[in-house]
Structures are given as C-alpha cells and as structure tokens.
Structure 1
Amino acid sequence: MRDFIDRDNELKFLDEEYRREGSSLVILYGRRRIGKTELAAKFMKRKKALYFLVTEESEQQNRNAFKEAVADFCDNELLKQATVENWEIIFKTLLSKNGDGKMLLVLDEFQYLGKSNPAFPSIFQKIWDTLLKHEDVMVILCGSLITMMESQTLSYTSPLYGRRTGQIKLKQIPFLYYNKFFPEKCRRELIEYYAVTGGVPKYIELFYNSGDIYSAIDHNILSKQSFLYDEPNFLLQNEVSEVGSYFSIIKAIAAGNHKLSKIAAALELKQTGLTKYLKTLIDLDILKREVPVTEANPEKSKRGLYRINDNFMLFWFRFIYPNLSLIEMGNRELAMKKIKANFKDRHVSYIYEDICIETMWKMNHEETWPFTFDQVGRWWNNDQEIDIVAYDSTGRDIIFGECKYWEGQVGINILSALEEKARVVDWKKENRNNHFILFAINGFTDELRELVKTRDDVWLSE
C-alpha cells in the first residue's frame, strides 16, 4: 500500500477519543476492504497498544488466542501457562499493565465473537461496566459485517447500547484524492479508475501497476483466478442468506430499472415483496434511494429512484455478471470487447455526474460562488432530468448544472438546453436567482467561452 491517504477526519476523531479523560469505547465498522485495519494500525503507532484479530473459530479458540496475546503483551508467563475459562481474568491481567499512559486495545472483526456465542456482547458489556469503564483505557471494536456490528454494538437491543463514546462507519475514499494514488495519471484516467475501484483502498491497490484501465480490468477482474472476479458474491454471502435474490435485484437496477415498479416488473414480483431486500442493500451501502433534490419531504416522495451506490458493484453487475458464461468458457476477449464498447457511455459518464457533484461541494467550500448552498443533487420529473441542482434553502439562489463526459467539446446549445430545463423546476420559481455551471471532460467551444465572458451567472469547469 502506498502512503496513507485521506482519513484525516477519522484519525482526528480517534485522537480526540484517545485524549479524553478516562475510558472510551469506539465502534469502527464498514464493508470489507474499506481500510479499517489500516486506519487502526495507523492510529496505534507510538501508543501502548494491543491489536487482536478475532477469527471465525469457536469462542474458546479465540479466548485462548487472546490469552496468548495478552500474556505476550504483559510479559506474563503465568497467564501463558494457565488454563482460562472466562474472559474476565484475561482482561484483569491486561489492565495490570496499565498505569504509564492510556492503553489502547483494538479487537478486529469483533462480530465473530457474537456469531460464535450470541451471549458474548453481554459478556463484554459486563467486562466494560465492571473493569474497563473505570480505567484509563481506549477500546476500538472493529468489524466488517455491517449488519452484525450494528446489531451487536449499536442497536437499541444490544447489551452494549449506550456504552460507546463514539462510532465511525468508514466510507469509500472520495475521487478528490485519486491523484495522490495515481500521480502519473491524467484526469480522464483518474475518472476511469475511480469508476471501477470506487474509492475502496484494497481495489485501488490492485490497480496500481496497470498501464491502462482495460489491462487493469482484464488482470484484476476478468481473470477467474483474480481477487475481484467473484467479489460481490463474497461480500453478500457474509451479510445475507438469500444471495440469489439480492443478486437479481442489483442486476435489475444495474440494467436501468430504477423505479420500484420497474424493478418489480423486471423480476416479476410484487413491489411489497422487495421492501426488505432494498432496505438491507441500503443499510449495506450497496444501494441508495434518491429523490429530486428539491423535494420537500424526501421520505414520502413518490419519485424515489434506487441506484447502486458502489462503483465496483455497478461495474460488476453491468459488465461481469451478464457475461459470466463467456468468461467461464474461456472467452475473456469477447467479454472485454463488450466492456470496451460500452464502458465510457454506459458507465463512466454516470460516475462522472457523481464526481461533478463532489466538485460542487468542493467549490462551495472554497467559496467559488457569491453565495453558499446547503443542498445539491439530481433533479427530474416525468419528462426532464437535470444532472445537478444546488440551492440555498434559506435564500433565493439556485444553480443548474450539466455534466458531459464525451469526446467533443460542449457548446452554446448545451447551455441553452439547460436554461430551458431550468424553467420547469418549480423551486421558488417566481422569486429566485438562477446560476448555471457546465462540466465537460473535453472542454468547451470558443463560442461558448466568449459568451460566458459576457455573463456573471455561468461557470465552466473542465
């Protein structure tokens, strides 16, 4: 892995928890490969810290392994030789080493203890309440299985509910940092790499030494022996029981069915039968439900659309899953030909919209506009779509944006079309200030650039 990139806010939060007086208990969780262990390792440096990785073995096997780790950490030969039947003795021994600065304990893949013994969260709750809570100690409980971590540590029914002093749900790294991962790549290449790896550190690492995006895809995804070939199946089978049902739903959405009614029709199911699956996929950060950004009551909106919220999963279900038979029969070349024919228009162009929205927030932070906005997203009705709409909910200013990831330059006609679509948006229609921004990967025509010089309500971004 290259130098540790991003995660500044998370490290700052962990440091604040570490410096707080007394004990602290932090839940650190998120999907596999997202970089939880690397974050914990970075934070542990130069601290009196013990790291323990829980395995899928029995509770007894994990307890014995933890006993050995604590014995080595405390240099306690007596504990090493002892047969221990409960966790409290081990934690008491661990605390005997306390006294010279705060102790840090990281229990990685914590959910496996609860999986092997459903009563373990109660056991740890007692240890926290009677031992750890009163000491100068910081405990980080890490986990990769989101549903298990939430049920065992965060939910109201968990014995540990109310004990934590903080939590981090680790997310993908934003596109903003991709030039640090791939300093030799141009912006177009960075967008293509992001469109596949989606900000997941482990995936990014696999793509480091590839000459271009297609060789990276061929080597790291299309090869049946590759790490990412069956990654979605591996991710889901650890979280859900009916993997096939979830695969069918994600495939239907990847094919362009975003409305609930269309997803149900594609699967020949009733809409009510999809609710629990969609909720689970949203909880796992695989899906998101979007509504037009100007909707006053998003939860009640009937215009909600379901989109895949993970670039790699979107790529895999668009290009790999439909072509598994080809790949399995050894015809990777034909699968790659299909990917090359549709990769930019059917995949990267959509990801580019997300990147432009991210850029909007960055520009907002840098005070690019004569006002600041607090809402940004897509807008649509039955007839029209606008890639970006941003507005100040307490004021009268609104920005309309278009994102073009195509070979040619963007001209005046695109601005004119955007202005026409903006007239349809009802938000404070009779009393607002309209602004416009165009994003284009290949730049703009001279005519458009000259026009923009005469206006103070239009921005261009390449």
Structure 2
Amino acid sequence: MSRQKFVDRKMELAFLEERYASGDAELLIIYGRRRIGKTELLLHFARDKEHVYFLASEKPYMDNLRELQRMMGDFLGDRLFPKIEFSEVDELLIEFSKRVNGRRVVLIIDEFPYLIERYKPVLSLIQRAWDMELSKGDLMLILCGSSVSSMETEVLGYKSPLYGRRTGQWKVGELPFWSLREFFPSYSTEELVKVYGVLGGIPAYLLRFNPGKGFDENVVERVLSKGAFLYEEAEILLKEEVREPANYFAILQAVASGRSRFGEIVNATGLEKSLVSKYLNVLEKLGMVEREVPVTASRKEALKRGRYSITDNYLVFWFRYVLPNRSYLEAGMSREVWERSKEDFNEYMGAVFERLLRKPEVFTKLTGFGFTKIGRWWHRGEEIDLVALNEREKKALFVEVKWKDLSDREARGILKDLERKAELVGLDGWEKYYGLVAKSVEGKEGLRGEGHLVWGLEDILGGSPVM
C-alpha cells in the first residue's frame, strides 16, 4: 500500500504563500504531468486556510457546475445556495465572489482541462467572471491541470481568453534528488541513487516502495511483479496523457533502445518525419524526453547534432527491464529476471548517475562551481560526461562520471585522459578545471591534496564542495 506523505516542495509552497499574502485577487495556473503531486501540493498549501477544493471530472459540464455549486454552498453554510439556478460558471463564480467578499478564500479547480473538453466556452466565461468581479475582490482562484499540452495551449497560450489575466503560474516538476532521503531514511546514498534510477523523483512512485524493505526486494515486488501498480504504469500513463499512445509508445521504445538521433527514430518506428517531430515535441513538453546538443555547439551545429533521450527514469527502466521480459514476468519469474538483469543494471546506472549529476542543483551543491551552461560534449567518437561553462569569467569544468569504485591508478588515468579530451573542445584562453565523480575513489583525499577535483557518493548528500 502507498503511504500518505508530503515531502519538500519548499519553492512551490513559498510561491503560493507569497501570492496568498499579497491580499490581491489572484488567478494562478498550476500544472504538471500526472503523478507529480500537484493535488497534494495544493491541499497542503490550503489546509490551514479558508478554501474550496473542487475536482472536475469527465461528467457533463452542467453536472460539474452543480457539484461545484454544492461544494460552495457547504463552504458558505447556506443550504439554499445549491438551489439557485445558474446556467453558466461565470454566474456562479461572480455570486460566490460577492458572498465571500472581505475574506481571503482559496478556490481550487483541479483537473481543469476536463471542463475545457466538455465545454470550450468555459474559458471565456471564467475570463468574463474575472474581468467583471473576481479581479476586484479577495478571491484566490487556482486552476490546476495534468494535461500539460492543454494547460500550455488552451489556458496559458496567447490565443486563450485567459491570456493576460493570470497573476502567476507554476509548472510542477519532480522532487529534487535529496528529497528521497525522507522517503527512505535507512537507505545508503548508493541505494538512494538506485531508487532514483528506477523511479526518478515522482512522488506517487516513490510512495509505492516500502522503506522497510531492501532495494532489490522493492524492485521485484513493486515493479517487476504482475499486478503491481508500477508493472503496467508506463502503458497506463501514456493512455492518459496522449491521444495516440501506440505511436508515442513506439517512439519511446526506439529512444530507450538507443536510437537517439532523429533519423534513427524515424527508421525504427516507420512513422513519417512530420509525425515523429510532432510526437517528440509533445513528449518534450510532458517532460518525458529531452533533446541534447553538445554544450559548446553553435546554433547552426545544434540543429544537426541533437540527440534524444528519455528523462523519466521510470520509463527508461520500464522499457529496458519490464517490456523485454514480459513473457517471463507474466509467468511469475520476477526474481529470476532481476537476478539476471543485475549486471546490465550496473551499466544502466552509469547513464542514470550522469543525468543526476548534470542536474544544475545537484552539480552546484556538489562542486560549488558557478556556471552559465551545463551539459555533455561529444565529437567524432570522443565524449565528456559533463562540461560546465562560466561564459562570463571564461572558466570551464570538465568532469568524468563513473558508476564504479576506482583505484588510485584508475582515477589518475581517467583524469589524465580527461585533460586530453578537454583540449579537443577548444576554449583557448579559458581557465580549465578537471574533475572526477565515482561511487568511491581510493586515495581521494590524497588526490585532492595534489589539486585534483574528486568526489565520491558520500559527497553528493553530505559532502562539502572542494571548489
């Protein structure tokens, strides 16, 4: 069973509290992919405030309107309020705003895209209510949605009737890596990185793992076992998020299997280029896929040298370990599948570790290096895992990332080769630094004493920067 737990979200809560404290009328747009924790965030924010929380459904528009009216009546303590005849949502909002005038009330309409789907004029009607009454009062109206494309186009887009009316917006993302410690207080840093490699920072997924059990046992029971929530979540998620899940599925499968270039994805899926481009764009907006270019690439080079990768760790794991082993998993062989996958999982974690360390907040906390750009670099078969550039001060930090325990000799060899590769990047006249991150490094302190930048797993959560 999942556990109810609210973790982190300090920035999001600070934003909401600031808008609440403004005392002005507020029209806030909160959105983000499913399972990311938007509802929990809003309910946590509103728990000590006067509020109405309404969850829209796929019912007809008028059914939703009547349900919202009933909830407003309960809030007002007025048994007659639900019996008033309102033909449109603007009339309801205006009347409610008048009745709570002088009080700071939070009105949350969750899954707002359902209302748009059922009745497109709802956008213009809310605009009318805002212009006529709500913008002059004390109400804090929050429109929340999981359909990222709908929220960005229909609600935030410049063609939207609400364009220019919003007083703020926030796209809710994954929890930061160090939040995982609150879910799994007894796990080592290595185990936390592994959990991150399987589930990412999605609260709904993290809550599915049992903190009282080991990492391997959780993977077997909560991801690889038929009937578990995370066993079919990838397919269910795609069906909820997009209209043509089969095509998106094919694209994700291609990318997960190593087809990172646009042409490779087109060939692997058999779909037309225009469709692949459209679907990749949607997946990028959903935060499932990203297009990377070498960190030093010019705009012209960036058009040709992009590589696609899946950013959602759960999806990467699912396509690599669940989908190809479906026949065995359906037969109840989850433990056998995981045992024979462990060696490959160690290789898989190398890419996960790299992605984690390229996250700006993790990189900054670890190294203390101030940068303006961060990413990978590659050219003609040569690659550097992580390059951070400070373009203002003309400083560059080159870092190799290894998901393994390194001997002193191995570490020195990697750092020496890194200096060679860094010369291929160019950046003549820049001040250059070279670093290495691994699970552990033999003689780390000695290497640091010689001026090398070296970090181990223990530095990611609790160590201090050496720069």
Q: Are 2:94 and 2:129, in contact at CA under 8 Å, matched by a contact in 1?
A: no
Is 1:460 aligned to 2:460, yes or no? no
Is 1:4 aligned to 2:2, yes or no? no
Q: What SS does the aligned partner of 2:151 have? A: helix
Change (3 A) 1:298 1:149: farther
**CA distances 1:412-434 after superposition (whole Å, capped 9, x unpaired):** 111112112111112x22x1222
Change (3 A) 1:62 1:2: closer
- What does residue 356 of structure 1 align with? 357
| CA distance, structure 2, for counterparts of residue 336 and residue 364 of structure 1 | 34
Q: What SS does the aligned partner of 2:30 have? A: strand
Tell me the TM-score normalised to structure 2 length: 0.91
| CA distance, structure 1, for counterparts of residue 447 and residue 74 of structure 2 | 72
Aligned pair count reads 453
**CA distances 1:96-129 after superposition (whole Å, capped 9, x unpaired):** 4424431110111111011111222122222222
- What does residue 432 of structure 2 align with? 434
Q: Alpha-carbon deviation of 1:362? A: 4.7
Q: What SS does the aligned partner of 2:309 have? A: strand
Structure 2: runs of 5 or more not aligned: 458-467
**CA distances 1:171-203 after superposition (whole Å, capped 9, x unpaired):** 001112222221211110000111111000111
Q: State which drifts further: 29-38 or 204-213.
A: 204-213
Q: Alpha-carbon deviation of 1:245? A: 1.0
| CA distance, structure 1, for counterparts of residue 120 and residue 249 of structure 2 | 28
Q: Alpha-carbon deviation of 1:299? A: 8.1
Change (3 A) 1:403 1:105: same
- What does residue 442 of structure 2 align with? 445
**CA distances 1:121-159 after superposition (whole Å, capped 9, x unpaired):** 122222222221111111111111111222221112211
Q: What SS does the aligned partner of 1:389 have? A: strand
Q: Alpha-carbon deviation of 1:77? A: 1.5
| CA distance, structure 2, for counterparts of residue 425 and residue 406 of structure 1 | 26
Pairs within 5 Å for 1:331-346: 331-346=333-348
Residue of 36, 53, 65 corresponding to 1:34: 36
Name the amino acid aligned to 1:40: L
| CA distance, structure 1, for counterparts of residue 391 and residue 133 of structure 2 | 49
Change (3 A) 1:218 1:13: same
Name the amino acid aligned to 2:381: D
- What does residue 56 of structure 1 align with? 58
| CA distance, structure 2, for counterparts of residue 3 and residue 231 of structure 1 | 20
Q: What SS does the aligned partner of 1:141 have? A: strand
Tell me the TM-score normalised to structure 1 length: 0.92
Q: Are 2:400 and 2:437, in contact at CA under 8 Å, matched by a contact in 1?
A: yes
Name the amino acid aligned to 1:395: E
| CA distance, structure 1, for counterparts of residue 114 and residue 274 of structure 2 | 33
Pairs within 5 Å for 1:99-248: 99-209=101-211, 211-248=213-250
Q: State which drifts further: 244-253 or 391-400.
A: 391-400
Q: Are 1:147 and 1:239, in contact at CA under 8 Å, matched by a contact in 2?
A: no
Change (3 A) 1:119 1:338: farther
| CA distance, structure 2, for counterparts of residue 118 and residue 368 of structure 1 | 49
Q: What SS does the aligned partner of 1:26 have? A: strand
- What does residue 415 of structure 2 align with? 415
| CA distance, structure 1, for counterparts of residue 300 and residue 72 of structure 2 | 50
Q: Alpha-carbon deviation of 1:340? A: 2.5
Change (3 A) 1:452 1:440: same
Change (3 A) 1:461 1:241: same
- What does residue 403 of structure 2 align with? 405
Name the amino acid aligned to 2:169: Q
Q: Alpha-carbon deviation of 1:208? A: 3.3
Q: Alpha-carbon deviation of 1:350? A: 0.9
| CA distance, structure 1, for counterparts of residue 214 and residue 33 of structure 2 | 27
| CA distance, structure 2, for counterparts of residue 299 and residue 23 of structure 1 | 46
Change (3 A) 1:60 1:301: same
Q: State which drifts further: 120-129 or 311-320.
A: 120-129
Q: What SS does the aligned partner of 1:214 have? A: helix
Q: Alpha-carbon deviation of 1:451? A: 4.3
Q: Are 1:70 and 1:93, in contact at CA under 8 Å, matched by a contact in 2?
A: no
Q: Are 1:56 and 1:116, in contact at CA under 8 Å, matched by a contact in 2?
A: yes
Q: Are 1:210 and 1:216, in contact at CA under 8 Å, matched by a contact in 2?
A: no
**CA distances 1:14-41 after superposition (whole Å, capped 9, x unpaired):** 1121122421111000011111011101
Q: Alpha-carbon deviation of 1:408? A: 4.5
Is 1:368 aligned to 2:365, yes or no? no
| CA distance, structure 1, for counterparts of residue 24 and residue 86 of structure 2 | 28
**CA distances 1:249-303 after superposition (whole Å, capped 9, x unpaired):** 1011111111112222222445444111111111111100001111232784311
Q: Are 2:184 and 2:211, in contact at CA under 8 Å, matched by a contact in 1?
A: no
| CA distance, structure 1, for counterparts of residue 125 and residue 441 of structure 2 | 63
Change (3 A) 1:444 1:48: same
Q: Alpha-carbon deviation of 1:326? A: 2.7
Name the amino acid aligned to 2:357: C
| CA distance, structure 1, for counterparts of residue 200 and residue 179 of structure 2 | 12
Residue of 393, 396, 399 corresponding to 1:395: 393
Q: Are 1:70 and 1:90, in contact at CA under 8 Å, matched by a contact in 2?
A: no
Name the amino acid aligned to 1:234: I
Q: Alpha-carbon deviation of 1:338? A: 4.1
Name the amino acid aligned to 2:446: E
Q: What SS does the aligned partner of 1:405 have? A: strand
- What does residue 71 of structure 1 align with? 73
Change (3 A) 1:55 1:415: same
